[in-house]
Chains A and B, each alone.
Chain A
């Protein structure tokens, strides 16, 4: 039997009351917050899970918002393409059909040209459409307009490097403003020898048609101009006057771009471009194709960014330009060290024609274009067994061990170069953990798609007999020349041009919401080297230019030419453009279909997200929310317990022997 003392009794009663009351208050707290987990210690593991679910739900909400935003972008693009753009093209087609009718006069075609100009404005506005103030057809360059109105040049019968061109746009850059299209021709000097092929050069006389002229005679409306030289060895043609507006046609010099991995310093290695033209002679030239006509007409120029720009490859840690292989007259190979002190050209072939040990000189010829052309009879001095070979533009090659060279030695100075194919969404880093294995012809590499944080290792590329190797990467591949020269620790970074605005709509799934406008509408654009290019043209099968022009899917260019032909009264041209309009409309609609498909995908994504969120919310609720029935029962139980303690305590407290004495 246990001896019960007052102290024990009272402290026990106090403790019991306290513990019952605190349990009661816990239930009351749960009731007030409607949660069973009110602090981490209520359910430590559950708390962590609740937080995790809350994060998941938070992300799902974000993805819902992303999907909504994506849907907004896509719906706008869809309606723009399938409604505005398509119907406008249809209208232009109707107008072109009229203009193509043989009975129409120049004046009537002119009026139609004006109409089409207005329709082109509508198309331009559609192509510049913005969602939340961002251009939807401009790639990632979405703060500026995707397209701008400008001038372009179409030509008939022109050539390049002696070959007749297979596309109507000669590489002119046009600036200025014309109220109407202008035609340019090149008169034959003696006015007799027609169809004469000549080079376009400084001093070449040309004639442009002044449509504002009031001269009675047709031939008096042709104004004369002279080709002059412009900046950086370019050729310039100026046309127009105060009434017609003025335009400047610039034929830029060709810039040797060096290689992908090693761009040239601008201004270096620039040479004048040659254009072949057919001269015009009054009596001989009958047909449009008989002479070169330049049509300066409206063009839409793409301002956004594009994804066919090259992926830039930064080669890091490669001691470039220092590998040289010598093959002597007997075909034996030996290695010497060469140091090139200029950036370009990167691959140099040197043919030693003689070594004179008395004068310490060496004669050689070299080629910087892989042996196509050779620069003969050069002399290099040999100082302390190093030959110093001068190259144009201040560059030079130093070859160590030149005293061992003999006539007929063929030196090939090679550089590691990389060429990339494929589309990459982000930068890729490549590193080479060990030297290229020239025995097994294997090249080990590792790559990283998260900026070097984690590496995918143990990949092997085969070094081919031409010393090239192809590294397969997610999204494409890189071809490396002189792969046998790779040393351990070399790195490369592929930096692709990116155009996609893409939102994450499901974990690990993104959707691209914008488009590269030039892939849909065409137009002209300027590449990363500043060259004006036709945004798209079919290069397949038959390359006869007329056929090509009829098949062009480049909507803006087709319409630009159409306007040019209308305003210069060229019925054949109008017909060609009319056929091409069908092709370009199909192109636009096929993009609309693609976008529609994305919209459908998004709709189902939204449903999925909603379901997932609902599920997760239900799970969190089951973890953290109180079951009200259970709570009520608990409350009643605890109330009862508390009451019991109070009651029994009060009864015991009243009892005392003293009362009975």
Chain B
């Protein structure tokens, strides 16, 4: 049976519940714009009913709890997309800056400078004037500076990326720590009837922050809250977690085929130079005593192997002797600037299948205190897809992709362009002549004076461009005036300097040259090897010389009578000899008899034609022979544009999806003012009604009490 007291109690419960509801509604309105705030709802339940006559009577209302409107599934879908959106939009932003380096649409860049350079040669063909030479020199200097500046800008961006990477990894580690702490607090407060909504919201905000940096999977089971990277590496597991990420630099890993064999290779490898790639070396033929071995190289963890110019898998020679400080035996890879040496062990103990991983760039590792750090650096494979065993999303991936895959490949292309430009120009220039020389020193160094120049162990930048061939000089007895070249001296000995890149070393070639220009009474031309392994040519007192011919490319590779120095986009420069004396610009070739004729312009016209000639250009990934230098640069610009476009497209695509998912999340968790207004009115009315109930009960009580009078 109902009692008036219980009626009061019902009113009381209704009043306080409604007040809670109004409070919650108010809180919702207040947090309308709070980031990460999830709309909260009050869940009412009716109190236990009393059984009696005439029936069951309700006992009022109870607030069961305040719940937040949140959908884990939607949130997880959003996180995936959010990671990608962040990665691409960040990539897109950075590429906008990179694109400016290659912007040829409205400004003059490398393409224009290259054209001016080639046109300068044509001007020298038609106008053989000092002014044309000076003009050409300044065009060449402009070309080299615009290329080196572009390379420098790209490198600066890479450095910037490195600082972003370090910051991001710090942020990630802090977030991991925060989430771990929140997990602890949440589990403490998740008792019966307790809903730590703020803590949950706070944690979800942190998780979103984490997802903006890397790609993650969130698994919530019972009370356990676990975060993994997409590639499956745990970052947070409940309240106790000691996982983290770490930025690392150079690293060498040895994976021997028979690690337990006591006779296996004890040493390690050393790698120098920096590159945007991770290298994997695999022994193909182990070195044996008296015989060099070979290894192959992969840039994508063994998925594909670096090929040589002919399209076959490149096999790099390994010397049989161990490398020491005095004897480093660097191995030059196909057109890259990396050198490898086998140290502290006997290379003949290597066996086929032994692998070495080498990293010479900033990388990120997943640290599990119980294990070795694991490399999770984002990586783009040879076919352009992401390596899914590594990080693939978030800003951190953007920084790595931009640094290694994007800018890295542009730099490689610029390097390849500079290398081919230098080689082609130098090989044309080295066989030309304009003025006799009395002394000249090569600009390119070999690693060794006694190793065959055409092998990767020679240490010569252009070792792989040398071919079997021969060279000859013409010797002049000096004239009386400076402008007079003097009289051609008949070659004292039949000229036959023959060069075999697989056999002849710098010393051999120096000896051959000297021997060739020595007769019974005189050495007209002396070739020697300098202390830093460059070739030096010096004519005898009163004599001078001119390059007559070279079919081997040796002079171009050694930097004798050349136009450019350097072999990468970063060190491309005009040869000092030419910069100081424009008369050293070779316009033509020497005539077979007599003196140099000033009217020959075969070198200059060949240079101009170089702009339309298809040349060999190779990066570690590929070798092309069907493009001109300008075409190659054009395709590079096009590649930059395509990359930017792809980033733009992916940004748009992922942003749309992410926004849609965010809208869906927001549809559940977000605050709608109108709705809250309705609730407010609703609860206000409830409150008024509840108050009315108490008033009514009071009146009833008064009525009852008045009965006594």
User: Hey, which bits of chain A sit against chain B, CB under 8 A?
Assistant: 2-8, 11-12, 15, 33, 35, 37-45, 47-52, 54-55, 58-59, 62, 65-66, 69-70, 132, 134, 138-143, 262-266, 305, 309-312, 314-318, 320, 343, 426-427, 429, 448, 450-453, 489, 491, 493, 495-499, 501-504, 507, 510, 514, 528, 624, 656-658, 661
A658 touching B677 in the complex, CB below 8 Å, given contacts A41-B99, A140-B600, A317-B496: yes
Cβ distance B179 to chain A, nearest Cβ, rounded Å: 24
Closest to B659 in A: A15
A387 to B231, CA, bound (A): 84
Is the pair A452, B670 in contact by a Cβ cutoff of 8 Å?
no
Q: Are B612 and A507 in contact (CB under 8 A)?
A: yes
Whether the pair B103, A40 counts as a contact (CB closer than 8 A) is yes
Q: Closest CB of chain A to B75's CB: distance in Å?
A: 15
Given contacts A41-B648, A66-B126, contact A316 B496 (CB under 8 A): yes
Contact A55 B630 (CB under 8 A): yes
**Which one, B490, B645, B671, contacts A264 given CB within 8 A?**
B490
A46→B549 CA distance, assembly (Å): 42
When distances are taken between beta carbons in the complex, the residues of chain B under 8 Å from A49 are: 634
**B599 contacts A311, CB within 8 Å?**
no
Residues of the B chain whose Cβ atoms lie less than 8 Å from the Cβ of A311:
592
Q: CA–CA, A554 to B548, complex, Å?
A: 34
B674 interface residue (CB < 8 Å to A)? yes
Given the contacts A39-B103, A317-B496, A656-B674, A47 and B638 also touching, CB distance less than 8 Å: yes
How far is it, in angstroms, between the C-alpha of A43 and the C-alpha of B105 when the chains are bound? 10
Among A3, A496, A661, max chain B CB count under 10 A is at: A3
| Of the residues B104, B115, B467, B666, contact of A47 by C-beta under 8 Å | B104
Q: What is the CA–CA distance of A3 and B611 in the complex, to the nearest angstrom?
A: 63
- Which of the four size classes fits the interface of chain B? 35 or more
What sequence of 0s and 1s flags, for each residue 672-687 of chain B, a beta carbon within 8 Å of any chain A beta carbon? 1110011001000000
Q: A35-B105, A658-B677 are in contact. Are A503 and B125 (CB under 8 A)?
A: yes
A314:B630 contact, CB within 8 angstroms: no
Contact A140 B638, CB 8 Å, known A5-B666, A528-B594, A657-B674: no
Q: Is the CB of A312 within 8 A of B593?
A: yes
Would A263 and B469 count as touching, CB distance under 8 A?
no
A60 → chain B, closest Cβ, in Å? 11
Whether A142 contacts B671 by the Cβ 8 Å rule is no
- Tell me whether B608 is interfacial, beta carbon within 8 Å: yes
Q: A47-B104, A452-B467 are in contact. Are A493 and B551 (CB under 8 A)?
A: yes
Contacts of B122 in A (CB 8 A): 62, 65-66, 504
The 7 closest A-B pairs by CB, nearest first: A140-B599, A40-B641, A5-B670, A452-B551, A44-B641, A312-B592, A41-B644
Question: Given known contacts A3-B672, A317-B470, is B496 in contact with A38 (CB within 8 Å)?
Answer: no
B389 beta carbon closer than 8 Å to chain A: no
Chain A, residue nearest B69 (CB)? A3
| B667: Cβ under 8 A from any A Cβ | yes
Extra contacts, 14 of them, besides A39-B99, A140-B598 (Cβ < 8 A), are A2-B663, A3-B667, A39-B100, A40-B102, A51-B111, A52-B634, A65-B123, A140-B600, A309-B592, A312-B593, A489-B498, A528-B594, A656-B674, A658-B677
Q: Are A143 and B552 in contact (CB under 8 A)?
A: no
Residues of B contacting A316 with CB < 8 Å?
470, 472, 495-498
A44 cross-chain contacts in B, Cβ below 8 A: 637-642, 644-645
Q: Are A54 and B103 in contact (CB under 8 A)?
A: no
Task: State whether the Cβ of B633 lies closer than 8 Å to any Cβ in chain A.
Answer: yes
Interface centre among A70, A141, A316, A656 (most CB of B within 10 A): A316
Closest A residue to B114 using CB positions: A55
| Cβ-neighbour of A501 out of B103, B497, B592, B599 (below 8 A) | B599
Within 8 A of A (CB), among B222-263: none
Residues of B within 8 A of A317 (CB): 470, 496, 498
Q: Which residue of A lies closest to B431 (CB)?
A: A451
| Shortest Cβ gap from B596 to chain A (Å) | 10
Q: Within the assembled complex, what's the spacing in Å between the Cα atoms of A5 and B668?
A: 9
Indicate the member of A55, A426, A429 with the most B CB atoms within 10 Å.
A55
A242 and B612 alpha carbons, distance in the complex (Å): 64
In the assembled complex, which residues on chain B have CB atoms less than 8 Å from the CB atom of A426?
A: 589, 602
- B127: which A residues are within 8 A, CB to CB? 69, 132
Cα separation A10 to B670 with both chains bound (whole Å): 12
Contacts A/B (CB < 8 Å), 14 sampled: A7-B671, A15-B659, A33-B106, A40-B104, A54-B115, A65-B126, A66-B126, A305-B599, A315-B494, A426-B602, A427-B549, A498-B600, A656-B673, A657-B678
A482 to B102, CA, bound (A): 59
On chain B, the residues within 8 Å of A11 by CB distance are 659, 662
User: A62-B608, A491-B551 are known contacts. Are A143 and B598 too (CB-CB below 8 A)?
Assistant: yes
Q: Does B212 contact A (CB under 8 A)?
A: no
CB neighbours (8 Å) of B677 from chain A are 657-658, 661
Smallest CB separation, B652 vs chain A (Å): 9
* Chain B nearest Cβ from A322, distance in angstroms: 12
Query: How far apart are B492's CB and chain A's nearest CB, in angstroms?
Result: 8
CB <8 Å contact, B673 and A48? no
Chain A residues with CB below 8 A from B672, complex form: 3-6
Task: Decide yes or no: A69 and B126 within 8 Å by CB, A44-B639, A317-B470 being known contacts.
Answer: yes
- A142/B592 in contact, CB under 8 A: no
Q: Which residues of B contact A50 (CB under 8 A)?
A: 105
| CB-nearest residue of chain A to B652 | A19
Interchain CB contact under 8 A, B637 and A142: no
Report the Cα distance A15→B660, complex, angstroms. 12
B32 located at the interface, meaning its Cβ lies under 8 Å from any Cβ of chain A in the complex: yes
- Residues 593 to 635 of chain B near chain A (Cβ within 8 Å): 593-594, 597-602, 605-606, 608-609, 611-612, 630-631, 633-635
B470 touches which of A38, A47, A491 (Cβ 8 Å):
A491
Contact B549 A493 (CB under 8 A): yes
- Residues in B whose Cβ lies below 8 Å from that of A309: 592-593
Check A314–B472 contact: CB distance below 8 A.
yes
Binary interface profile of B, 123-138, with partner A (CB < 8 Å = 1, else 0)?
1011110000000000
Q: Which residues of A contact B602 (CB under 8 A)?
A: 426, 498
Chain B CB count within 10 A is highest, among A35, A315, A318, A452, for A452
Query: Across the two chains, which residue of chain A brings its CB closest to B588?
Result: A140
Do the beta carbons of A51 and B633 come within 8 Å of each other? yes
Nearest CB of chain B from residue A275's CB, rounded to whole Å? 27
Contact of A7 among B99, B468, B670 (CB under 8 A): B670
**B323 at interface, CB cutoff 8 A:** no
B370 interface contact, C-beta 8 A: no
Q: How far is the CB of A613 from chain B (nearest CB, A)?
A: 15
**Contact across chains for B467 and A51 when beta carbons are under 8 A apart:** no
- Whole-angstrom distance from the CB of A30 to the nearest CB of chain B? 11
B427 close to chain A: CB less than 8 A: yes
Bound state CA distance, A485 and B467, in angstroms? 24
Q: Taking the complex as formed, is B3 at the interface, i.e. its CB lies under 8 A from any CB of chain A?
A: no
A317: nearest chain-B partner, CB-CB: B498
Which of B552, B640, B671 is close to A6, meaning CB atoms less than 8 Å apart? B671
B119 at interface by CB-CB < 8 Å? yes
Chain A residue with Cβ nearest B491: A263
B612's contact among A2, A59, A138, by CB below 8 Å, is which?
A: A59
Residue B33, interface by CB 8 Å? yes
Chain B residues near A310: list those with CB within 8 A: 592-593
How far apart sit A264 and B492, CA to CA, in the bound complex (Å)? 9
Q: Which residues from chain A contact B592 at a C-beta distance below 8 Å? A: 309-312, 495-497
Residues on B with beta carbons closer than 8 Å to the beta carbon of A266: 490
Residues of A within 8 A of B681 (CB): 661
Question: Which A residues lie within 8 Å of B472 (CB)?
Answer: 314, 316, 493
**Which residue on chain A has the smallest CB distance to residue B498?**
A317
Q: Is the CB of B126 within 8 A of A6?
A: no
Interface centre among B95, B99, B641 (most CB of A within 10 A): B641
Which residues from chain A contact B634 at a C-beta distance below 8 Å?
A: 47-49, 51-52
Query: Which of B99, B496, B550, B674 is in CB contact (< 8 Å) with A40?
Result: B99
Contact of B105 among A37, A45, A504 (CB under 8 A): A37
Contacts of B153 in A (CB 8 A): none
Kindly report which residue of chain A lies nearest to residue B496, judged by CB atoms. Answer: A316
The answer to the question of B591 belonging to the interface, with a C-beta cut-off of 8 Å to chain A, is yes
